[in-house]
Amino acid sequence: MTRILRLTFWQWVFLALMAAATYATFIRVVYGLGGATNLSDKFPWGIWIGFDVLCGVGFAAGGFTLAATVHIFNLKRFEPIVRPAILTAFLGYVLVVMALLFDLGRPYRIWHPLVMWNPHSVMFEVGWCVTLYTTVLALEFLPVVLERFGLVRPLKWMRISLIPLVIAGVILSTLLQSSLGGLYLIVPRKLHPLWYSPLLPVLFFVSAICAGLAMTIFESWHSSKAFGRSLEISLLARLARVLAVLLLFYLVMRFLDVAQRGALKLVLEPRVESYLFGLEISLMLLPMLLLFRQHVRRNPWALYACSVMVVFGFMTHRLNVSITGMEAGSGTQYIPKWTEVAVTLGIVALGFAIFRFAAKYLPIFEKEGAGEAAVGQAVSPACCPAQGD
């Protein structure tokens, strides 16, 4: 009995978040969106869209980026981190769909865009891409499960269909990441000029790849701590260099775009938008400068700090577009209700927990740490048939 109660700090946190999220779910179901959110007619989208969907999909971008790197560009040395990236992506999308079920007024109609078409709508494209790409990710992840249970025959078929599947995944991701930015093309007078841009789809696409790479570094770092694996530091350092170049590209594009639209002077206005814009840019610029230095990329802690900064910079951008930048133009204020925050944190916690569970019981990291005692028991070699456990 006492053994059961002896949970670690993070397990207590997880349980507390789950309890809060469960109660919030109850409120959402019984009292509707009005009882569970601070949304209003003038501010119809809150953090369930701004964070759970916009950020969640971006964090998943490591999946298609690394799948393309390894399977299409055939850069085999990145193979050890493909699986965790695809797992992150798959989990990310499943959680995004979960968040949508909270946010939609009538969640049981989530399938409607698949049969009731309006190709002019960006949301229609989002619906289709999320559906198709989640399927693709499930198929890309399936070999890991098959391998775990020693099902060799279907694995052969999977290998043949891998390249077309990865290509489909890359295209669907490209469309989805950019269309999330495209959602805001229709609000030229509501979204603050520091964020509204005809380039929104491109900016969303590039920044999503940055966030995806940062997340890959982030989770490799954490799983190496959690499972006592050695960190693939040389691999992550290479990834970090690509990340620095992409950040540079993104920031130059962002600067030229804001300058060209004549919005640069707005940065100097003492408004909350300007401060959050500054925060967003700093959280991208600082890790970029750091990651261009070799000894930073080679230092696990510095690398980790940089990836966290990029993740937060990315989040700030998405929340600026969806929340901060929309407030003035909508003539209203929005602060999420505790239920909205509880559901969001619950979904994030669930993501961490499932990732940890999958990494423990499925051959996610096997290629790197197979020899080490700590992971030995968690990894069943692909060649062996299932042994029950």
Partner 1 sequence: MAKAILYDSVQCVGCRACEDGCAKRWNIPYNDTIAKEEEISAHKLTAVVTHGERYSRRLCMHCADPTCVSVCPVAALQKTALGAVIYDEDRCMGCRYCMLACPYQVPSYEWSSRLPRVKKCDMCYELQRSGKSTACSETCPTGATVTGDRDALIAEARKRIAEKPGDYHPRIYGINEVGGTSVLILSGVPFEQLGMKTNLPLEPLPPLTWAVQSHVPDVVLLGSVLLGGISWITHRRDEVAAAEGHAPKPRKDASK
Q: How far is CA 52 from CA 55, 103, 118, 201, in A?
A: 6, 10, 24, 18
Min dist CB 382 to partner 1, Å, is 21
The structure tokens listed for 154 are 């279907």
CB nearer to partner 1: give 290 or 379.
290
Residues near 22 by beta carbon (within 8 Å), at least 6 away in sequence: 346
CB nearer to partner 1: give 44 or 150.
44
Min dist CB 359 to partner 1, Å, is 26
DSSP characters for 14-41? HHHHHHHHHHHHHHHHHHHHHHH---BT
CB nearer to partner 1: give 226 or 248.
248
The structure tokens listed for 158 are 């999977």
Min dist CB 331 to partner 1, Å, is 8
Backbone φ and ψ for 43, nearest 5 degrees, come out as -135, 75
Point out which residues bind partner 1 (CB under 8 A): 29-35, 39-42, 44-45, 68, 71-75, 103-107, 109-110, 112-113, 116-127, 163, 166-167, 170-171, 174-175, 178, 182-183, 185-190, 198, 201, 234, 237-238, 241, 294, 326, 330-331
CB nearer to partner 1: give 129 or 358.
129
Q: How far is CA 315 from the centre of its chain?
A: 10
Backbone φ and ψ for 40, nearest 5 degrees, come out as -145, 175
CB nearer to partner 1: give 137 or 375.
137
CA atoms within 13 A on the CB side of 119: 0
Min dist CB 8 to partner 1, Å, is 37
CB nearer to partner 1: give 96 or 359.
96
Min dist CB 154 to partner 1, Å, is 22
Between CA 17 and CA 124 the distance in angstroms is 33
Residue type at 297?
A: R
Q: How far is CA 277 from CA 8, 136, 270, in A?
A: 38, 35, 11
Between CA 57 and CA 60 the distance in angstroms is 5
Min dist CB 149 to partner 1, Å, is 28
